[in-house]
Structure 1
């Protein structure tokens, strides 16, 4: 028996966090993020439902409605599910594979079996809540089998899938022992969305390699390419670059911005990094480049401060523990060499900051340094740009971040090349001093791009294409 929700979002996580209080009671707090901001209005307007894990192993809360009228339908995961499906197959197999083998993926059959079983469980929960003929939008790499399972049990549904991380080239993807099952799962959708045309093209090339018929070529925000599903259906494939909700960042508070710079010692230049503490983000490499600039005298420790916010991430996985250890060792070494009593040159926070506090740091920073080895998009870069409507500031951006395809006026660099990172940082700092008008024009161009192509435009473009897909 089908449910009564005409629009269903399926994601690994619910858009809220479950907190167990000291007295044993439980409470829910909204999760920050552009995806939540983009989809909540759509869900509210369409009697929608969000299916996802509540974030705590073995928690089994009952479905409930948010203040916006959205039904949240929890999927329970055990501690073993969390270990094998999430930490294991999702983040120790798929994540490194899809990020070009920055570390080696682990191919473990028991992890795969857990991934398959959890995806099946998610699909069954969607079946419970989705109305006849509903639209279902599945999100990200943790749930790539869900479209195919849903297609079998609910052929009446219109199914979209969006991948929020890169999709690798065919030669890399073919390493995966369960590659056929993943492809079949994805082709259960009516529309597959990727961040970049290159990601969509990688998927289409993979299909051609395994002799699945393909028509057309990948395009941005326009379905020009179609693949053939196992039942003969046409599956649309296109790129939809995700963005941010600029209004969620709030407004600049000049006093708060001045206070942040004062707490840093009022340096001439504030550099900022904001990342999950993930080995793909290139945090160690940017700190090393910064250290070399100090060592060579290109930068004076009396004139600069580097703020690095590193949000804890997947800390039970060995590669993440190693990344944290290396970053924190670098912070200590740089401060030991170039800092002074009461005045470190690198200010390091291993914690998540509220969006309002991040806004203050974004506004206070002269240079934002974003140097991932590989990134599907990188919304931090866009958030920084959105906080500089007056054209102030400068962005150092890895050419391997998806955002580099849109933010072409940034100081682009190759994060694998320390000299390239150093040159981009110096270009940003020196450009602000020597050519402020030019730098302001470049930032203004990026500001226009970010605010025009916001997260609402992303969601509307995808859903419009999805509606057309089943006509």
Structure 2
């Protein structure tokens, strides 16, 4: 049963004109199948058995796993799957007869007059249900509350002064709640509440479970947070801290990448809501309004097949040989990061500067290649971080470089997958120096690319029995760090320690590099995205199995 916080959220969601004129989903997907072959359009929390239904999973996220572009000649919208989206890749963890429905927004804005036709096309061709948030709501919801308030806070950045982030704005919070309500309404239009499993993703949709639980008390609902969850001392500064916690607690299973993130969440529930947790049959659970909410700790993995198929491309082997020739007799360190203030690019550059200063014998021998992914935001802080990064790189290159040698090379453009994979395959060491990051899959991708494939070996003339090595320097503040026991873990703020770690990674003996690589590759290849999705869904099914046998406590 949902708490009374629902009434407050509903009042907020109803404020303004945000919920007017949201198009309904075309009724191509049946709501309830009462008897095999007979479709009923029943609303509500039906007790009708629908065992004749094909198993369905409803995946809800801010963005649909689709690419969209207009055909220049016809002017019509064309859509295709985004093969790199985790939301698409996680289907590999489900049985082949599972029907997957996606609910989310498109990466492009669709004119109001085109929305009905586009919605029908997406439903028919992709089993996707678009939300079509109004422009102003999308701006306040995503660029406002999500990116200006939740994202910094969850990465331990408080708006202590006006130049250090944006302070809480209740209008942006209202937009966040309104957007979550629209997402929930779209789920309600297609769900069979007694049979379908709903899996909600990430911090954009943390109060959505409240709306679904209020409408369908027996909804089977999982939530996975892809970002960090901050310590209670940070989280408790959020004015709407209770509403978000209660929103998450209207799920049946809440997933986190690491034990630390889960521990922080449980601490917040204890300190702010007075809820204690206990271990139930080997699983962590909290009791909330007559239900047991379970906690899942499992980092997401990569899609092995997708990455290996890129490694097998002729363009990848060609680029790999080109990079090997360009950096012949050089020790290549690789960084691949988004340009934002939390990725630690500037600290990484300072560590390389320290390394070259401390170890003069490495001057002329070591090259840091920094691939900069396009920034997801364009705020003042991103521009300042970029300006500082270029300034530090220029200083290093002026001091330690020459006409034919640059110690720091910044690749600040769109880098296609084949080229990025080639850089991964060449690098002796990969460094991920983020000061805070939810997961970060760069180390996993690096390990797989260093392993290579038989086809890539053949293309570049490498023997199949040639030892594979890789070395990782990773920040202790990123989600993938606990799973990489052979990595050199560093505090990214300690410049000298990072410089020492880079030196160790470059000079450690080959047998040790081989052992560490083999250990990591075994983990990464067995704990892929399919394993993660399958494990989460198994735990969700277990969590939903008997949690309604308890008497429902009175709503407070």
Check 1:104–1:223 CA distance in 2 against 1; reply closer, same or farther (3 A cut).
Answer: farther
Give 1:229-244 correspondences, 5 Å limit.
229=288, 231-244=289-302
Q: 1:261-276, aligned counterparts within 5 Å? A: 261-263=324-326, 265-276=327-338
Match of 2:119 in 1: 62
1:86-115 deviations in whole A, cap 9, x for unaligned?
Answer: 112111111111112276463111111111
Q: Could you tell me how far apart the structure 2 residues matched to 1:120 and 1:209 are?
A: 27
Matched residue SS, 2:328: coil
Give, in angstroms, the shift of residue 441 of structure 1. 0.6
* Deviation by residue 1:379-418 (Cα, 9 ceiling, x = unmatched): 1111111222343121111111121101011111110110
> Which shifted more, 301-310 or 17-26?
17-26
Identify the match of residue 97 of structure 1 among 134, 137, 153: 153
Question: RCO higher in 1 or 2 (8 Å CA, sep ≥ 6)?
Answer: 2
Q: Is the 8 A contact 1:145 1:181 kept in 2?
A: yes
* Residue 256 of structure 1, aligned match among 319, 332, 336: 319
Secondary structure of 1:227's aligned partner: strand
1:227 to 280, 286, 289: 286
Rg larger for: 2
Q: State the TM-score, normalized to the length of structure 2.
A: 0.78
Match of 2:170 in 1: 109
2:12 maps to none
| 1:3 counterpart = 2:55 | no
Cα deviation, 1:415-435, whole Å, max 9, x if unaligned, reads 01101110110010111xxx1
Mapped pair 1:285 → 2:353: no
The Cα shift of 1:345 comes to 2.8
More displaced stretch, 368-377 vs 32-41: 32-41
Offset of 1:470 from its aligned partner? 1.4
Once residues 183 and 246 of structure 1 are traced to their aligned partners in structure 2, the CA distance between those partners, rounded to angstroms, is 35
Change (3 A) 1:40 1:440: closer
Q: What is the count of residue pairs matched by the alignment?
A: 462
Taking the aligned partners of 1:358 and 1:176, their CA distance within structure 2 comes to: 39
Measured after TM superposition, the shift of residue 159 of structure 1 is: 0.4
- CA change 1:445–1:3 in 2 (3 A) is same
Q: Does 1:382 align with 2:440?
A: no
Q: 1:57 to 1:204 in 2, by over 3 A?
A: same
| 1:51-102 Cα distance to aligned partner (Å, 9 max, x none) | 11101235543144599x7401111133323322111211111111111227
1:427 alignment partner, one of 477, 499, 504: 504
For residue 166 of structure 1, report the CA deviation from its aligned partner: 0.9
Structure 2 distance, partners of 1:75, 1:294, is 52
* Structure 2 runs not aligned, ≥5 long: 1-26, 33-54, 159-163, 452-466, 546-556
Structure 1: segments with no counterpart, 5+ residues? none
RMSD between superposed Cα atoms in Å: 2.4
Q: Would you say 1:246 and 2:304 are equivalent positions? A: yes
CA shift, 1:197, in A, is: 1.3
Q: Distance in 1 between matches of 2:231 and 2:257?
A: 15
8 Å Cα contact 1:214-1:225 kept in structure 2: no
In 1, the alpha carbon distance for the partners of 2:173 and 2:267 equals 24
Report the alpha carbon displacement of residue 35 of structure 1 after superposing the two structures with TM.
3.7
Q: CA deviation at 1:178?
A: 0.6
TM-score by length of 1: 0.91
Identify the match of residue 457 of structure 1 among 518, 531, 539: 531
Instruction: Give, in angstroms, the shift of residue 170 of structure 1.
Output: 1.2
Distance between the aligned counterparts of 2:218 and 2:56, measured in 1? Answer: 12
